[in-house]
Amino acid sequence: MWQSVGLFRNREGLARAVAALEAAGAAGYSADAAGARHRNLVTVARLITRAALRREESRGGHFRSDYPGRDDRRWRIHVADEPETASETRTQRQTKGTKGKPLQ
C-alpha cells in the first residue's frame, strides 16, 4: 500500500495494488480474530485503492503524478461505492455537489 497507494500515485502503481489486493482477498481468511482483522484490512485497502484509481485528478492529499491538476468540473463530487449483491462487486454512484446542490 505504501509504495503504490502512498502520497504519490499513478495508474500503473494503483492497478498493481488493486491486483495484489484482489489476490489477497481471494486467498481466504482464518476463522479467528486475526483472520477477521486481515479481511477487514484488505477490504478497506481495496476500497481506498479502487477509489484512488477511479479519481483521475489530484485533490488534497490525493496526488496523481499522471493527473497533477484539479478538475472541479468532473470531480467536485462525492463518490460512494455500493454493493450490487452480496458479493464484492461494487458500483460507483456520484452524489450531489457541496451543500446538496447538483453540479452544473
Q: Which residues contact 83 (CB under 8 A, 6 or more apart)?
A: 89, 90
- The percentage of the chain sitting over the pLDDT mark of 70, rounded to a whole number, equals 73
Nearest-CA neighbor of 8 among 65, 92, 81?
Answer: 65
Task: Using pLDDT thresholds of 50, 70 and 90, give the confidence band for residue 104.
Answer: very low
Looking only at the bridges linking them, the beta strands covering 8-9 and 63-64 are parallel
| Domain, as residue range, for 51 | 8-100
Is residue 97 scored above 80 in pLDDT? no
CATH of the domain at 23: 1.20.58.100
Asked if residue 1 belongs to a domain, the reply is: no
State how many domains the chain has.
1
Q: What global pTM score does this model have?
A: 0.69
| Run of H or E including 36 | helix 33-54
Asked if residue 3 belongs to a domain, the reply is: no
Q: Are 90 and 83 in contact (CB under 8 A)?
A: yes
Residues 43-70 have a mean pLDDT of 86
